A and B are shown apart, each in its own frame.
Chain A
Amino acid sequence: MFGRLNADAFKHDLIENLAGYSILIGLVVVIYLMFHHQRWKWIWKEYITSLDPKKIGVMYLVVAFLSLIKGLVDALMMRVQQMFSVGESFGYLEPDHYQQLFTAHGTTMIFFVGMGIVFALMNFVVPLQIGARDVAFPFLNAVSFYLYAVGAGLVVISLVVGVFSGTGWVCYPPLSGLAYNPGVGVDYWIWSVQIAGIGSLLSGLNFFATIVKMRCSGMTLMKMPIFIWAILGTLILILFAFPILTATIGMLTLDRYLDMHFFTPDFGGNPMMYINLIWAWGHPEVYILVLPGFGVFSEVVATFSQKRLFGYVSMIWALGAITFLSFIVWLHHFFTMGAGANVNAFFGIMTMLIAVPTGVKIFNWLFTMHRGRVLFTTPMLWFLGFVLIFTIGGMTGVMMSMAPIDFQVHNSLFLIAHFHSVIIGGVVFGFFAAFAYWFPKIAGFKLNERLGRYAFWCWMIGFILAFMPLYALGLMGATRRLDHYDAATGWQPLFVVAAVGIAIIFLGIGFQILQVIVSIKHRKQNLDTTGDPWNGRTLEWATPSPPPEYNFAVIPHVHDRDAFWTMKHARVHHKPHYEDIIMPKNSAIPPFIGGFSFLLGFCLIWHIMWLAAFSFVGIIICMIIRLSQKETEHLISAKEVEKHI
């Protein structure tokens, strides 16, 4: 009846229980607050059933932020374990629990924080910047969000029911095969990533169509804001890379569910194939995360240097080169597998080539500051921090692209320090810059600058303390994913410094939460009444903050790059001509599809096949209902539009 699900699934040790309880208590508190403030109807109407990309973007943000906190708690727990688990002492975590932590940390940070941030930015900024009222497929957009949220939910539910995978976030077979991991852990990983991955692919399709087909008149490709170019590169990567992920995990699923042998070494299977395939997706994925960050910094630097972006054409070529090269470097994740010298050399050289366009971008940003008037607002601070950290990460990246060097640092903490330098520098700092930059547009008021600066300094100092020791540890022979080591290694003091660093990063997160609370409280003083709080350059600042459902009362016509900047400086006043606007109606079907997907994933994990079949039929029925609906749009009359201006 319940497949593999029985009472044992709910039995955990004390620490795991604490995690489970804290989530349950959080849930109860949220539900209580919702009843207390009678917000159920509001949230249902304004968010859950909304097809407005701006609202969907906010929902992405909420899930990504909660995931970030969870991922950071995982990280802190790992470092605390490593602080104490030396020599005779084995720390406070069982090895299996520790291994779940780092698997969950990686999976959460990449799929549910990184991808969540990327799609939040796309949803909010892309339609506004290209002068569009909506995305190409609004309904699909909402479905994508719910698939993503379902993935994040499955990772969280594994804290309470059963266990998560302990195989590392890329789940290499044969360790992730049935023979070594018969339990539900790997299945939790498979279905959370698979479902979220399908959501990402659908989103990729949607936004690609949006950028290609829905730009406002006059916005030719070479007049698009650089952020849109960066997103376009990201979308191309998503469209080519995510099908590989889906197929690879599909084969792993067949191995585990139908006893096939694609990736186990007996019966002719080949684990090396899995490792190749997962990185053929995995390396482009790195750029899927970081290209939007590059886009954000391009906007931020130009705006706060009060100057045009330097080398626009160069930037686009650099983006194109990175997009292309990112598909022919995947082997550098496993030089140590023993491919021939020439194969290693080819992939090594392709990898270090990426440093050239990336360096070009950094020089272009720096020369955007040159002869500008630089305002040190929080987004700009995040940018400066990014340059320092990301450059170190890039340098160590080029080092590791030389296979013989990689032999000596592969899978060591040096590698961990490298990719955290580029991901925290590029993706996380990029997102924080974007958050401070576009927050007034989302909310209608600015964030508190002082608390933002405190948060930045905590992150910056915390980052240095948390990750510079890791470079040294890697050179001392410390490998990743260790829950215990000998005292003679001399690693302990550095692990202590690293743990202190994580604690300071937590302080930074604390300031950021405080910043949002304080800013909401004092929003009256920071109201953005003009819609253009930063003296912006691109079209989103031409709308009121927050923008109406339809974004633009009149679709703008673009003559130049930095379209809004040009409009401001050449003000032509003629009475705008308003027209009726057709927008999609809310739909309750995406949350239902999400609900059924969650049930489907959960039941497949626990082998409750009858309920899985039921959920699958449920999804199909939802789609049939949607396809047979006729009145899916509503009309906003020209008069109404005019009234709101």
Chain B
Amino acid sequence: MNKKIKIIFSVLLLVAVLWVSVLFVDINKLSVLNPKGIIALKEYRLIVISTLMMLVVVIPVFFMTVFFAWKYRSDNTKAKYRPDEDQNHLAEVVWWGVPFVIIAILGVITWKSCIDLDPFRPLQMNNKPLKIQVVALQWKWLFIYPEQKIATVNFFQFPEQTPINFEITADAPMNSFWIPELGGQIYAMPGMSSKLHLIADAEGSFRGSSANISGTGFSGMTFIAKASSEADFNAWVESVQQSSSSLDYNKVVEPSQYDPQAFYLLTDGGLYEQIVMKYMMPTPKKYMGK
């Protein structure tokens, strides 16, 4: 085989392997690329825009890599050989300049989108937002509805088309709160209250999880975020209020793994604030986990 055929063969091989590597992707399950809320949708659009803009540089790089390797292979004596040629100001201006311009455009987009998609920034909507307080525990998620006076574990329901104001903390090592289909992600930290504002455009059940290692039961820290109609949501709240026992926080806070969904009545409206505040003062050791 001469070098020419070898180069063609190599490129074909790489493309084939690349194809095999993503052969098993289920398009419908690419949750980040199938957004179900305006925040996730905007984040998805940014992915597309930035990818396209970078391809302006990446495609020529791939092309030149293969083409130069092909054309200037050592046995191609017809190609020019200039062993002392080591600069070309015009070319260098181009490859400092073009990427810089692309980055400048991306920079402007970044600045604007950072402000627009700041997780702490409330969504501008006409209807009244729903407030949900989230506590990462060892190793489960506690969702508190202070206005509805209920609390749930590893599951929460909310009406579609309604902005949700999350307040997020942890009574555990740091976790990260992420629902790929609705948008993401913010750290849940002990002694800190983070905010996140999301919305669902349609009904559906979305998988959420913790994205930051928090100890033994970390992998089981998944939950379901269920978007339903307003009426269904109200019915659900009512059923929880009527059929559940009241929340015993001292029991829930005990470390446990792969907890099933659970539903409680909330008796202490200021629970979330107490959880945040308990790290604010020199507290006795009894509050620190085992």
| Alpha-carbon distance between A127 and B44 when the two chains are bound, in angstroms | 50
* B22 contacts the other chain (CB 8 A): yes
Instruction: Give the residues in chain B near A324, CB-CB below 8 Å.
Output: none
A401 touches B32 (CB 8 A): no
Contact call B21/A352, Cβ cutoff below 8 A: no
Interface residues of A in 528-568 (CB under 8 A from B): none
- The residues of A that contact B181 with a CB separation of less than 8 Å are 477
Residues of B close to A364: CB separation below 8 A:
92, 95
- Sorting the interface of chain A by its residue count into under 10, 10 to 19, 20 to 34 or 35 or more gives 35 or more
When A and B form their complex, what is the total count of cross-chain residue pairs whose Cβ atoms lie within 8 Å? 318
Provide the residues of chain A in CB contact with B194, threshold 8 Å: 338
Residues of A within 8 Å of B187, CB to CB, are 334, 336-338
Q: Which of these, A99, A342, A366, contacts B61 with CB under 8 Å?
A: A366
Interfacial chain B residues near A356, Cβ < 8 Å? 96, 99-100, 103
Q: Check if B58 sits within 8 Å of A395, measured CB to CB.
A: yes
CA distance A367 to B80 in the complex (A): 13
Q: Does A50 contact B (CB under 8 A)?
A: no
A443 on the interface (CB 8 Å rule)?
Answer: no
Measured in the bound complex, the distance between the Cα atoms of B217 and A481 in whole Å is 11
Bound-complex Cα distance A337 to B175 (A): 10
Distance between B161 CB and nearest chain A CB, rounded to angstroms: 21
Query: Contact: B25 with A388, CB < 8 Å?
Result: no
**How many angstroms between the C-alpha atoms of A369 and B68 in the bound complex?**
6
B125 close to A (CB within 8 Å): no
A485 at the interface (CB under 8 A from B): yes
Pick the contact of A265: B47, B83, B189 (CB < 8 A).
B189
B118 to chain A, nearest CB (A): 4
A348 to B111, CA, bound (A): 8
Q: Is the CB–CB distance between B185 and A271 below 8 Å? A: no
B64 contacts chain A at the CB level, 8 A cutoff: yes
Which chain B positions have C-beta within 8 A of A172? Answer: 173-174, 212-213
Give the residues in chain A near B31, CB-CB below 8 Å: 475-477
Shortest CB distance A28–B (Å): 34
**Binding-face segment, B12-20, B144-152, B243-251, B262-270:** B12-20
* B128 in the interface (beta carbon within 8 A): no
Q: Is the CB of A99 within 8 A of B103?
A: no
Contact A408 B218 (CB under 8 A): no
Cβ contacts under 8 Å, B192 to chain A: 265, 272, 338
Q: Which residues of B contact A348 (CB under 8 A)?
A: 110, 114
Interchain nearest-CB distance for B189 vs A (Å): 7
Q: Does any Cβ of B come within 8 Å of A312's Cβ?
A: yes
A607 close to B (CB within 8 Å): no
- Whether the Cβ atoms of A370 and B113 lie closer than 8 Å is no
Give the nearest-CB partner of A363 in chain B.
B95
Question: How far is it, in angstroms, between the C-alpha of A271 and the C-alpha of B82 when the chains are bound?
Answer: 57
Contact A175 B214 (CB under 8 A): yes
- Asked if residues B191 and A265 are in contact (CB atoms below 8 Å), the reply is yes
Give the segment of A11-19, A242-250, A303-311 that binds chain B.
Answer: A303-311
A341 neighbours in B (Cβ, 8 Å):
114-115, 118, 121
| Least Cβ–Cβ distance between A408 and chain B, in angstroms | 5
Q: Which of A307, A374, A481 contacts B85 (CB 8 A)?
A: A307
Enumerate chain B residues within 8 angstroms of A306, measured Cβ to Cβ. 74, 81, 83
Residues of A within 8 A of B85 (CB): 307-308, 310, 371
Encode A370-390 as 1/0 by CB contact (under 8 A) with B: 111111100000001001100
Q: List the B side residues contacting A168 at CB < 8 Å.
A: 213
A407 and B18 alpha carbons, distance in the complex (Å): 27
Stretch at the interface among A421-429, A465-473, A633-641: A465-473
Say yes or no for A412: interface residue by CB 8 A criterion: yes
Q: Is B130 an interface residue (CB 8 A)?
A: no
Question: In the assembly, what is the distance between CA of A402 and CA of B29, in Å?
Answer: 24
Whether a CB of chain A sits under 8 angstroms from the CB of B184 is: yes
Question: B6-36: which residues lie under 8 A (CB-CB) from chain A?
Answer: 6, 13-14, 17-18, 20-26, 29-33
Residues in B whose Cβ lies below 8 Å from that of A340: 118, 120
The reply to whether A374 and B74 contact each other, CB–CB distance below 8 Å, is yes
Q: For the complex, is A410 an interface residue (Cβ under 8 Å from B)?
A: yes
Tell me if A489 counts as interface (CB < 8 A to partner B).
yes
Interfacial chain B residues near A403, Cβ < 8 Å: 110, 113-114, 117
Q: Is the CB of A362 within 8 A of B61?
A: yes
Give the docked Cα–Cα distance between A340 and B3 (Å).
55
Contact partner of A490 among B20, B29, B183, B213, CB < 8 A?
B29
Give the interface segment out of A192-200, A493-501, A570-578: A493-501
- A174 at interface (Cβ–Cβ under 8 A)? yes
Chain A 593-616 near chain B by CB (<8 Å), digits 1 or 0: 000000000000000000000000
B47, B82, B189, B219: residue with the most chain A Cβ atoms closer than 10 Å: B219
Q: Does A642 contact B (CB under 8 A)?
A: no
Interface centre among A342, A477, A489 (most CB of B within 10 A): A477
What CA separation (Å) do A485 and B111 show in the bound complex?
Answer: 36
A272, A402, A461, A480 pick with most chain B CB within 10 angstroms: A402
Contact A410 B176 (CB under 8 A): yes
Q: Could you tell me if A404 and B99 are in contact, using CB atoms closer than 8 angstroms?
A: no
The answer to whether A371 and B81 have CB atoms under 8 Å apart is: yes
B73 touches A374 (CB 8 A): yes
Q: How far is the CA of A402 from the CA of B46 in the complex (A)?
A: 8
Residue contact A342 to B114, C-beta cutoff 8 Å: yes
Chain B nearest CB, measured from A392 CB (Å): 8
Contact B92 A311 (CB under 8 A): yes
Q: Does A267 contact B (CB under 8 A)?
A: yes
CB-based contact A336/B186 at 8 Å: yes
How many Å from the CB of A416 to the closest CB on chain B?
12
Distance of A464 Cα from B22 Cα, bound (Å): 10
In A318-337, which residues have CB < 8 Å from any B CB?
A: 334, 336-337
The answer, yes or no, to whether A483 is at the interface (CB within 8 Å) is: yes
Residues of A within 8 A of B109 (CB): 402
Interface assignment of A141: CB less than 8 Å from any CB of chain B = no
Please indicate the chain A residues that have their CB under 8 angstroms from the CB of B82 in the complex.
Answer: 307, 371
- A367 smallest CB distance to B (angstroms): 7
Distance in Å from the Cβ of A126 to the closest Cβ of chain B? 23
Indicate with 1 or 0, residue by residue over A399-438, a CB within 8 angstroms of chain B CB atoms.
1011111011111100000000000000000000000000
**A350 closest partner in B (C-beta):** B107
Residues of A with C-beta under 8 A to B22: 468-469, 472
A345: CB under 8 A from chain B? yes
Asked if A69 is an interface residue, CB under 8 A from chain B, the answer is no
- Is B57 in the interface zone, CB < 8 Å from A? yes
Query: Does B119 make an interface contact (CB < 8 A)?
Result: yes
**CB <8 Å contact, A265 and B215:** no
Query: Do A476 and B68 have beta carbons less than 8 Å apart?
Result: no
Task: Determine if B213 and A481 form an interchain contact, defined as CB atoms under 8 angstroms apart.
Answer: yes
- Please name all residues of chain B whose beta carbon is closer than 8 Å to the beta carbon of A410 when the two chains form the complex: 176, 178, 184-185, 211
Query: Complex: how many Å from CA A410 to CA B186?
Result: 9
B65 touches A388 (CB 8 A): yes
Flag if A399 contacts B72 (CB, 8 Å): no
B150 smallest CB distance to A (angstroms): 26
B259 contacts partner chain A, Cβ-Cβ < 8 Å: no
| Bound Cα distance from A362 to B68, whole angstroms | 13
A482 within 8 A of B: yes
**A180–chain B nearest beta-carbon distance, Å:** 5
What are 27 of the A-B contact pairs (CB < 8 Å)? A166-B216, A168-B213, A172-B173, A172-B213, A305-B72, A313-B87, A336-B186, A341-B115, A341-B121, A352-B106, A359-B57, A363-B91, A364-B95, A366-B65, A370-B68, A372-B81, A395-B58, A399-B54, A404-B43, A408-B40, A408-B47, A410-B176, A469-B25, A476-B31, A477-B31, A489-B29, A497-B20
Counting from the closest, the 10 A-B pairs by CB-CB distance are A175-B173, A493-B24, A265-B191, A468-B21, A411-B211, A345-B114, A477-B180, A404-B117, A308-B86, A341-B118
Seed contacts A308-B84, A392-B58, A472-B25; 12 additional CB < 8 Å A-B pairs: A266-B283, A310-B85, A311-B87, A363-B61, A376-B3, A401-B110, A402-B110, A404-B114, A408-B43, A465-B21, A477-B31, A481-B218
